[in-house]
Amino acid sequence: MSQTKEDKQLQDKPDLEERKSSSPGPDTVADRPDSESPLEVKDKLSSPTQMPEAHPVSAKQSIANFLSRPTEGVQALVGGYIGGLVPKLKSDPKSPPEEQEVSAKTEQAVNKDKKAEEKKRVLLQQEKIIARVSIDNRTRALVQALRRTADPKLCITRVEELTFHLLEFPEGKGVAIKEKIIPYLLRLRQVKDETLQAAVREILALIGYVDPVKGRGIRILTIDGGGTRGVVALQTLRKLVELTQKPIHQLFDYICGVSTGAILAFMLGLFHMPLDECEELYRKLGSDVFTQNVIVGTVKMSWSHAFYDSNTWEKILKDRIGSALMIETARNPACPKVAAISTIVNRGQTPKAFVFRNYGHFPGTNSHYLGGCQYKMWQAIRASSAAPGYFAEYALGSDLHQDGGLLLNNPSALALHECKCIWPDTPLECIVSLGTGRYESDVRNTSTYTSLKTKLSNVISSATDTEEVHIMLDGLLPSDTYFRFNPVICENIPLDESRDEKLDQLQLEGMKYIERNDQKMKKVAKILSQEKTTLQKINDWIKLKSDMYEGLPFFSKL
């Protein structure tokens, strides 16, 4: 029995020695400088962030001794070595809480802005709808009030109220037409009251209703820009009046001008001035406006980009032309359709032509060009003649206007387009295009290099070239339809020339040019003198009756 116990102790002794050698004894623990209890060691081992202190391990230790350690210690040991490698090997697919919170706030802000913009858009749309409904209701009320009125004097007031309303809200013209306003106005125009007839003609022109043309087809007169060189164009007009024995405003259905051409168009088409008086006033305007001290003009150029006094020019226009609106000239039955062209320079990337009209377009007719008839006549001239370097640009509403010659110094193509919008079913009879003289130098530049000034001058000359439009229309229009008069002058006279001897020289060159083109002038005069055929007159009468009694039986139109 005792032998058996001794054998068992001998077998267990190596195991005990191995355990002692593998685990620190109490003496070893006591020898450490900052000794810790076994519980503290166990807590440190169980913490994943604090690694246990490494000790040399005997090669004789088995895996069983390693596994015999507490479970928490093993996990801490493994986690300490391997846990740091896990984030490097595998990234967390989910965003950190902070990033999720920031993205959520950003998304909420974006959604809030979108909702605010959508709400604003809906409100604006609702306001537009409400405003449009109010305009339509107001238009209907004015039309119905006019139709119920029997007193001619009260009719004048009602017509003027409707005119002012449509000037302020042009979109109401379509509603007025649907309310059968045109037939009523045409019948009202038959009343023997000149004031009432004038008011009716104005509102008809505003709506876009036009009477038939004077001749067999549309007759157009266009006048180029060119400053005081406009005296050249006056010589051609003087010859036409001499051959036809009729004033200019009776020869043409549409007169259009740019800059100085607009001044002539207004003098002849709207004010019906005789040519002698027109030329005298034209020269006086040049002497009053184009007089400036060189030093003062240079100083003004530095801060206003205008050599001449624009305020003085505006004052002259207000005194000479007055403050009447463009559309008010339609009250005179002898006035043709007249337009002045300017250039808007602050809409979009490229300049755009603007048409100051004394007429309106029929609803549904879309002109390629911006424009309006609600402006004053002096404003139209001021905007059309705002040549850069000569006069300051003109602010009208939110638009900045400059000289129309920047885009269309020869307005023939624009005038043709406008006439097709006004009289879409009427053929073209003739276009008379008047230039203000062109200078062609025979000097050839042999240099192989051009300065920046020369380059800019070439660009400006190309943009304001009047002959390119002439070449295009001359090739497209039928023969004996387009007539261009633009003499070659022997000297390059500037736009602001005001000396009498130079103006007399221009006048003489214009007269010589007309003499050389006498047959061409006679051909134009013959076309302009042709009267309507009997069939055309009958068709015009039938159309008028049809427009007057729209919706009634046919026999009432006769």
Taking 3-state DSSP, the helix, strand and coil percentages for the chain, each rounded to the nearest 5, stand at 60, 10, 30
Q: Is the domain of 40 the same as that of 155?
A: no
For the record, the structure tokens of 517 come out as 């083109």
Q: Is the domain of 275 the same as that of 337?
A: yes
pLDDT over threshold 50, residue 5:
no
**Is residue 340 a part of any domain in this protein?**
yes
Q: Is the domain of 180 the same as that of 243?
A: no
Q: Is the domain of 235 the same as that of 203?
A: no
Q: Is the domain of 428 the same as that of 500?
A: yes
Q: Is the domain of 196 the same as that of 227?
A: no
The pLDDT of residue 388: 84
- Contact by Cβ (8 Å): 411, 257: yes
pLDDT over threshold 50, residue 8:
no
Which of 145, 173, 207 is the C-terminal boundary of a domain? 207
For the record, the structure tokens of 542 come out as 């039938």
Q: Is the domain of 330 the same as that of 194?
A: no
pLDDT over threshold 80, residue 275:
yes
Q: Which residue among 253, 259, 309, 384 is the active-site one? A: 259
pLDDT over threshold 70, residue 282:
yes
Angle at 309 between CA 304 and CA 311, to 5 degrees: 100
Measured between alpha carbons, how far is 460 from 463 in angstroms, rounded to an integer? 5
For the chain, give the mean pLDDT.
78
Q: Is the domain of 354 the same as that of 479?
A: yes
**Is residue 102 a part of any domain in this protein?**
no
Q: How confident is the model at residue 96 (pLDDT cuts 50, 70, 90)?
A: low
The pLDDT of residue 368: 92
**Is residue 109 a part of any domain in this protein?**
no
**Is residue 448 a part of any domain in this protein?**
no
Whether residue 259 lies in the annotated active site: yes
Measured between alpha carbons, how far is 180 from 42 in angstroms, rounded to an integer? 103
The position carrying tokens 């006498």 is 518
For the record, the structure tokens of 122 come out as 């809906």
Handedness of CA 283, 267, 405, 309 (dihedral sign): positive
The pLDDT of residue 52: 45
Range of the domain at 486: 218-439+453-545
Q: How many domains does the chain have?
A: 3
Q: Is the domain of 25 the same as that of 169?
A: no
**Is residue 166 a part of any domain in this protein?**
yes
**Is residue 557 a part of any domain in this protein?**
no
- Contact by Cβ (8 Å): 307, 389: yes
User: Which of residues 537 and 18 earns the better pLDDT score?
Assistant: 537
User: Which of residues 61 and 245 earns the better pLDDT score?
Assistant: 245
Which pTM value belongs to this model? 0.73
Q: Is the domain of 255 the same as that of 363?
A: yes
Write out pLDDT tens, residues 163-188.
999 999 998 999 999 999 999 999 99
Which of 54, 89, 124 is the C-terminal boundary of a domain? 89
The pLDDT of residue 50: 45
Which of 161, 184, 207 is the C-terminal boundary of a domain? 207
Q: Which residue among 403, 412, 433, 498 is the active-site one? A: 403
**Is residue 212 a part of any domain in this protein?**
no
Q: Is the domain of 73 the same as that of 136?
A: no
For the record, the structure tokens of 547 come out as 């427009």
Q: Check which CATH number belongs to the domain holding 294 and give it.
A: 3.40.1090.10
Q: Is the domain of 181 the same as that of 272?
A: no
Strand partners, 229: none
pLDDT over threshold 60, residue 150:
yes
**Is residue 412 a part of any domain in this protein?**
yes
Integer distance in angstroms from the first to the last C-alpha of the chain? 155
